[in-house]
Amino acid sequence: QQQVKQSPQSLIVQKGGISIINCAYENTAFDYFPWYQQFPGKGPALLIAIRPDVSEKKEGRFTISFNKSAKQFSLHIMDSQPGDSATYFCAASNNAGGTSYGKLTFGQGTILTVHP
Amino acid sequence: NAGVTQTPKFQVLKTGQSMTLQCAQDMNHEYMSWYRQDPGMGLRLIHYSVGAGITDQGEVPNGYNVSRSTTEDFPLRLLSAAPSQTSVYFCASSQPGQGNSPLHFGNGTRLTVT
């Protein structure tokens, strides 16, 4: 059972364009939604994260939009650069009690390619 | 700091063989976990530990054992390798008490079972 569904599976964007990756979740107990970025041969690394008490969070060119009623969240990469080419994973966790114990439920991943 | 170190980077096993994937972290993190990454499946949690001597199962624990005798080390044992265990394995660590502290991942072990 895939509790976090991510789309698209792959995405090709021209340099300077906007990359948009979408995720939907089922478990209403999820209360923490991070995005991880993974380069080939490396482990994933935290990019940006959001809690459900806000609808948007922006860090530089990266923005998370969150829609609690629809149980959806998305990553927007503005002014996409070739260096952004990587695999992106959305994730979710339930932090009841103040911690998730390091357990995340990941989406399927999106391979982003930014052409120069 | 080295962060999270995984060895080996690559491994080929024959069906039925056993092996241990090593994971060590030097950040004094309490939480450690093992994930497997498969195409189209994302990362799935195998086992996790909230401290030395304490482990629990994740989403896909069958065929794997773990132990946590020290804070630093969290090895993953494959008891009798099967082709379905062909995957990339990632170890991660994190620290409680800092809100939602990020997972720090190693660079993975690519395992092929023939």
Partner residue opposite A43 with nearest CB, options B41, B59, B105: B105
Please compute the mean of the pLDDT values over residues A12-22 and round it to a whole number: 98
Residue A108 pLDDT more than 90?
A: yes
Distance from CA of B70 to the nearest CA of A (A): 17
Determine the Cα–Cα distance for residues B100 and A70; give it in Å rounded to an integer. 23
pLDDT score, position A97: 60
Q: How confident is the model over B2-16, as pLDDT tens digits?
A: 899 999 999 999 999
pLDDT range class, residue B97, cuts 50, 70, 90: low
**DSSP label at residue B79:** S
Nearest chain B CA: its distance from A21 CA (Å):
14
- B32 shares contact with chain A (CB less than 8 Å): yes
Say what the pLDDT of residue B83 is: 97
Q: Centre a 10 Å sphere on the Cβ of residue A116 and count the other Cβ atoms it contains.
A: 8
Q: How far apart are CA A17 and CA A80, in angstroms?
A: 5
Chain B interface, mutation test: which of A103, A105, A108, A110, most B Cβ atoms within 10 Å?
Answer: A103
Strands, E, within B1-114: which ranges?
A: 4-7, 10-13, 19-25, 31-38, 42-51, 54-57, 64-66, 76-78, 87-94, 104-105, 109-113
Q: Convert the pLDDT of each residue in B17-29 to its tens digit.
A: 999 999 999 999 9
Pick the residue with more confidence: A32 or A80? A80
- Strand-pairing partners, residue A11, are A112
- If you search the block for the tokens 């939602």, which residue do you land on? B100
Residue keyed to tokens 């093992």: B34
| CA–CA distances in Å: residue B109 to residues A73, A107, A114, B67, B68 | 30, 20, 27, 18, 19
Residue A13 clears pLDDT 90, i.e. is over it: yes
Q: Hey, is the C-beta of A107 within 8 angstroms of any chain B C-beta?
A: yes
Give me the percent of chain A exceeding a pLDDT of 90.
81
At residue B36, the pLDDT reads 98
Q: B92–A43: do the CB atoms touch at under 8 Å?
A: yes
- pLDDT range class, residue A94, cuts 50, 70, 90: confident
- Determine whether the interchain pair B33/A102 forms a contact, defined as Cβ–Cβ distance below 8 Å: yes
Mean pLDDT of chain A: 93
Q: In this structure, what DSSP letter does residue A82 have?
A: G
A85 or A93: which leads in pLDDT: A85
Predicted local confidence at residue A66, as pLDDT: 96
Looking at residue B2, its pLDDT comes to 84
Which of A43, A44, A103 is closest, CB to CB, to B45?
A103
| Residue A100 touches partner B, C-beta closer than 8 Å | yes
Could you give the CA distance from residue A44 to residue B105 in angstroms, rounded to a whole number?
6
Phi-psi bin for A109: left (phi > 0), alpha (psi -120 to 50), beta?
A: left
Q: Is the pLDDT of residue A32 over 60?
A: yes
Measure the N-to-C terminal CA separation of chain A; round to a whole number of Å.
Answer: 38
Nearest to B92 among A49, A102, A108 (CB): A102
pLDDT above 90 for B102: no
| Closest by Cβ to B32, choosing from A46, A89, A102 | A102
Amino acid at A99: T
Nearest to A38 by CA among B27, B92, B86: B92
A87 touches B: beta carbon within 8 Å: no
Residue A59: is it exposed, middle or buried by C-beta count within 10 angstroms (0-12/13-18/19+)? exposed
Pair B78, B63: CB distance under 8 Å = yes
